[in-house]
Structure 1
Amino acid sequence: MILYEIFNQTCSKLHKSTAVYYNQSVVRYRQIREQAIRISVTLTSMGVKPGDRIALIMRNTPEFIMAYFAILKIGAVAVPINFNLKAPEISYIMQDAGIVGAIVQDRYYETALLAAKNKNFFKFVLIHGDSPGSKQEKHIPCKNLRETLGAKTDPDENARTQYHKSKPDDCIMIIYTSGTTGNPKGVMLTNKNLVANIESCKKATDVNQKDCFICLLPMFHSFAWTVCVLLPISLGAKIAVIESIQPFRNVMKAVFTCKVTVFVGIPKIFSALARIPFVKPLHIFIPIRFCISGAAPLSPVILESFEKKFGIPLLEGYGLTETAPVVSLNPLNGKRKPGSIGIPIPGVTIKIVNDTGSSIPPGNQIGEICVKGDNVMKGYYNLPDATKASIDADGWFKTGDMGYYDNEGYVFIADRKKDIIISRGINIYPKEIENILDSHTAVSESSVIGISAPDGDETVVAYVTLHPDATVTPKELIQLCRKNIAAFKVPKEIKIIPEMPKNTLGKILKTELRKWSGKKSPITT
């Protein structure tokens, strides 16, 4: 099945139904398709051809969805870009992907132009919001999306003349990895990858057309895009689009006014919710059926405190951009195991392998997690060697995550392969130590890294942030570790800092913590 055809079928069947809630407005499926058609006509008129890569630099808006399907409609490739990136970072992605044009929110127009300066990337810029006026680059054609969306053209006529049908194995989307271990890599996702993951997610949960999903995570991220946008569209469900999670009271207001039933977030959000003052009877009126946490590990402490306060199931899942992205999920109706990333979703297979590539049976032996299924990416754009190193001849994708599964098939993450600490020839898994530190009532978050010593060994160092007004000393935390883990795993040093360095989705950047080693860092204790 082709992704655009799924979108088109939903819009035809449910044309009068609500597709998106955004601020105080309601956008119906008919409007989403009509506007996507109008944008596709404009893109064609600006010279876009099938296979061309089009950048999307926008916050969460209905127009993001319209623009995405407009790109797919004419056979081009959507390249969503993190709007928080600086011009040099965006420039790298544009150059690597061979971007020919961009659909940009007005606030990011200057950054996009700076990124493209002297590189001759753009044939055009389609701007969402206010026109740039005197700031417009004279040599790059620029149109305003408002003019396109307000055009008095017959969308049905355009629908008959502008559609380019792609194939299941055609790349329709390139998402760049965060680049925490080097330059970001472009993950090529096909119709088959995305459709397979959508269908698997349907089978893994009991979501249906009556549901309303909240989309507060940025749409440029694969987790938000597949689970919060593509999945509900395939169902004909509703999406409550949140442009910014600040102030958070607007998010909670949307939960009630839009009657959100599926809440998708990251651990930081659930941790914050678990700590807010709460009138207990209020949870009776919350419409949410269940929550899904992804993009970063969910502490069992956060899971327990959130569920205790709200009485709503919180399901931890696991995925990667390279797997479109969902791999596993704790079942909604069935046994859930705190600390586990759940079981593989239907259509996805997981195996654990040792250093020689041999499969490891269920138990506590740790190895690398490998994934196979139609959701596994086509490859890394323009990086055949990296693709070959990541996907073997049998289609198994090597995730770089270390873990194990138990006799019931539940998978547990030990750590990233690159984050394992080796001390005296023994592997130390940071997550085990982090779980101990996180169990302290004063600790908000922790991150454990290995610091290389002159003799080639590694020293265990922990960074910790505290809850507001909470106090604890490094000595007390070290004592906690000594009571719960072997002496060789106990951090030699614990540094209490005001804030963890993180990426857009709240994942702690251990690369930044390593840079702080031996240098001045924001230590408070």
Structure 2
Amino acid sequence: MDLQIPEEINLFDEMVKQAKAYPKKVILEDPMNKYTYRKFLISVNVMAKKIEESLKNEKRVGLYLPNVTAQVVVLFSLFKNEQEPCILNFTMGAQNIIDCIETASVETVITSREFIKQADLGYVLEEMEKQVRIVYLEDMAAGISARHKLAGLLEARVAGLKKREPGQVILFTSGTESKPKGVILTHRNIYANIKQIFAHIELSPEDRIFNPLPLFHSFGMTIGSVLPFIGNIKSYLYPSPLRYKEIPKAIYKDKSTLFVGTNTFFENYAKFATRKQFQSLRIVVAGAEKLKKDVRETFQDKFGITILEGYGATETSPVISINTPKAYKEGSVGKLLPLMEAKIAKVEGVQEGGNLLLKGPNVMKGYLIHGRGFIPCGEWYNTGDIAQIDNEGFIHIIARLKRFAKIAGEMISLNKVEELALDCFGESSFYAVSIPDNRKGEQIVMFTTKNKISARDLKKFIKSQKLSMLYNPARIEHIDEIPLLGSGKPNYWRLEKLAKGE
């Protein structure tokens, strides 16, 4: 494929090109605000000047903001100033936030008083204030003068004359097992991923993205907040993916055509949405966790929608592969994006597939490690996922390498255990973890939100499938609600703690 990615990219400059071509097009919206390209460019010019006055020459700037238009204005303002946004995950605990700040050597964090109040994050802010200076959007907005506005307007007229230095963004891993790692994505990484997506799946300027995923989620950043300005596709930002009743109403009102989410989120939207509310949707993509069979079937039967499963990682900006309406295989995560290469490395004890290794222009620059600094990415990025690639090029994710239990010397996929429970009971609300076991090395504990589940029925089912009894959980425990990470994935680390009685 003849897809060329320039070596030097600044995403502000790329946004300006589109703003010059389509000044009156509404490109970004949330429940409170609406921006045309021209209004957005002027707002970015004004905010960039205010940030410059407040932060002087600080290279890295923390962002602690919700998924609303103001956050995207600040993001592109930092791009314009050739500063590096460090996007903090507001669902992390206070200690993890402090670890992120230390890892990236951040001195100032931009946030909002209204957001802190609404999200009840005052206790986190108190800890942050011990480490960094806090700058509030409300204070910057109050300090915007007629001079700032006039300068922003004049700059919009001559925008594009100055070429900016290539930039980068820092996102953070969830830090459930150790201190969070900073993932350094260059503007070129993000731009390349957007161009790869356009070359892989058919999108048009008439499409409308509905994005409830926050900026700290790499899909929310690249697809929901940057792609609109590079690809001239309007995005509607919704502040929380957890408002299961309201989101279908908002999709209907916006007439959105593209919707991205996780299996867990889609399972909950399906409980409240009507076919009419989802009638405008053309492309619905699931990522971040495996799409369960019952959720896929519910969307097909109730809404007439085929969910296209995709696959990505923060380290790859994030999209790696995706099914498309023209190239679709159930149970797979689609084919690799253009310009990417993959290979499978054998893993001892794992019978099916192997460790998936990747390279391409969308693969990160490297990690920031707490106490160690920058560690560049090698030639191949190790996903830590066990996968197979079939003879047609479709990728099948079997499990995370960490999602295996070693029982009596055998590697048992915890994803497979969950799938067996789904097949046995007809529902997907089962979550398996492994914990140490003195006799067999490890044991499997299954959590479920379903009442009256028979462990005996599951044992009989596993036997009927002629599978090893090592797939049978040591115990099944009821839980009222499955803990989630901010990305929408199940928080298996918390479940492990519960399984150990901690």
Q: Which of residues 9, 12, 22 is equivalent to 1:4? A: 12
CA 1:163–1:43 in structure 2 vs 1: closer, same or farther (change >3 Å)?
Answer: farther
Establish whether residue 367 from structure 1 lines up as the match of residue 354 from structure 2.
yes
Instruction: Find the aligned partners of 1:214 and 1:440 in 2 and give their Cα distance.
Output: 35
Pick aligned residue for 1:54 from 48, 57, 61: 61
Offset at 1:145? 2.6
1:114 aligns with 2:115: no
Matched, 1:344 2:336: yes
Q: Does 1:153 align with 2:150?
A: yes
Residue matched to 2:6: none
In structure 2, what is the equivalent of residue 140 of structure 1? Answer: none
Judge which range, 188-197 or 490-499, deviates more. 490-499
Structure-2 separation of matches of 1:43 and 1:409: 47
In the alignment, is residue 437 of structure 1 matched against residue 428 of structure 2? no
Partner amino acid, structure 2, of 1:7? M
Counterpart-to-counterpart distance in 1, 2:459 and 2:271: 25
Query: Aligned in 2, Cα 1:406/1:475: closer, same or farther, shift over 3 Å?
Result: same
Residue 512 of structure 1 pairs with residue 466 of structure 2: no
The CA deviation at 1:161 is 9.7
Letter of the aligned partner of 2:83 in structure 1?
Answer: A
TM superposition shift of 1:343: 1.1
Higher relative contact order (CA 8 A, sep 6+): 2
Displacement of 1:369 after TM fit?
A: 0.8
TM-score (structure 1 length as normaliser): 0.85
Kindly provide the amino acid, as one letter, of the partner of residue 223 in structure 1.
F
Distance in structure 2 (CA, Å) of the matches to 1:517 and 1:113: 31
How far has the Cα of 1:246 moved from its partner?
5.2
Cα distance change of structure 1 residues 247 and 191 upon mapping to structure 2, 3 Å threshold: closer
Quick check: 1:187–1:321 contact (8 Å CA) kept in 2?
A: yes
RMSD: 2.7
Letter in 1 for 2:492: K
Tell me the TM-score normalized by structure 2: 0.89
Q: Deviations over 1:468-505 (max 9, x none)?
A: xx643233233333323332222222222222222112
Return the match for 1:482 from 456, 463, 485: 463
Tell me, yes or no, if structure 1 residue 330 matches structure 2 residue 315: no
Q: Are 1:433 and 1:481, in contact at CA under 8 Å, matched by a contact in 2?
A: no
Whole-Å separation in 1 of the counterparts to 2:144 and 2:232:
25
**Letter paired with 2:476:** I
Structure 2 counterpart of 1:303, from 296, 305, 323:
296
Task: Number of aligned residue pairs: give it.
Answer: 485
Distance 1:163 1:512 in 2: 51
Measured against aligned partners, the alpha-carbon deviations of 1:276-321 in whole angstroms (never above 9, x if no partner) come to 474x6x37x7111010111222112211221222112211111111
Indicate which of 485, 493, 497 corresponds to 1:503.
485
Task: Give the aligned partner of residue 200 of structure 2.
Answer: 204
Matches of 2:241 and 2:357 in 1, distance apart? 34
| Cα distance change on mapping 1:383 and 1:353 into 2, 3 Å | farther
| Residues 193, 99 of structure 1: alpha-carbon distance in 2 compared, 3 angstrom cutoff | same
1:425-479 Cα deviation digits (max 9, x unpaired): 221111111112123556342222222222462222222222xxx6432332333
C-alpha separation between the residues in 1 aligned to 2:325 and 2:142? 42
Q: Please report how far the alpha carbon of residue 14 of structure 1 lies from its aligned counterpart in structure 2 after TM superposition.
A: 1.1
Q: 1:212·1:260 contact (CA, 8 Å) conserved in 2?
A: yes
Task: Give the direction of change, closer, same or farther, for the CA distance of 1:421–1:101 in structure 2 (3 Å limit).
Answer: same
Change (3 A) 1:74 1:164: farther
Contact map agreement 1:8 1:33 (CA 8 A) in 2: yes
Q: 1:365 to 1:247 in 2, by over 3 A?
A: closer
User: Structure 2 regions of 5+ residues with no counterpart?
Assistant: 1-8
Alignment-mate amino acid for residue 43 of structure 2 = Q
| Structure 2 CA distance for partners of 1:67 and 1:300, relative to 1, 3 Å | same
Match of 1:91 in 2: 98
Alignment partners' CA distance in 1, 2:259 and 2:210:
6
Aligned mates of 2:112, 2:174 — CA distance in 1:
21
One of 76, 85, 89 as aligned partner of 2:83: 76
Return closer, same or farther for 1:465/1:46 CA change in 2, 3 Å cut-off. same
Deviations 1:230-270 (A, max 9, x none): 22221211111111345434322221221100011111122
Does structure 2 retain, via aligned residues, the 8 Å contact 1:35–1:149? no
How much has 1:111 moved relative to structure 2? Answer: 4.8
Please tell me whether the aligned partners of residues 61 and 106 of structure 2 are also in contact (alpha carbons under 8 angstroms): yes
Match of 1:181 among 177, 180, 196: 177
Q: Structure 1, residues 359-411: CA drift from partner, whole Å, max 9, x if none? A: x9xxx8321011110111111125798976x843xx11001111212111211
Bigger mean CA deviation after superposition, 378-387 or 416-425: 378-387
Q: Find the counterpart in structure 1 of residue 380 from structure 2.
A: 396
1:222-261 aligned within 5 A: 222-245=218-241, 247-261=243-257
Once residues 28 and 111 of structure 1 are traced to their aligned partners in structure 2, the CA distance between those partners, rounded to angstroms, is 37
| Whole-Å separation in 2 of the counterparts to 1:366 and 1:391 | 24
Give SS of 1:439's match: helix
Residue identity matched to 2:458: L
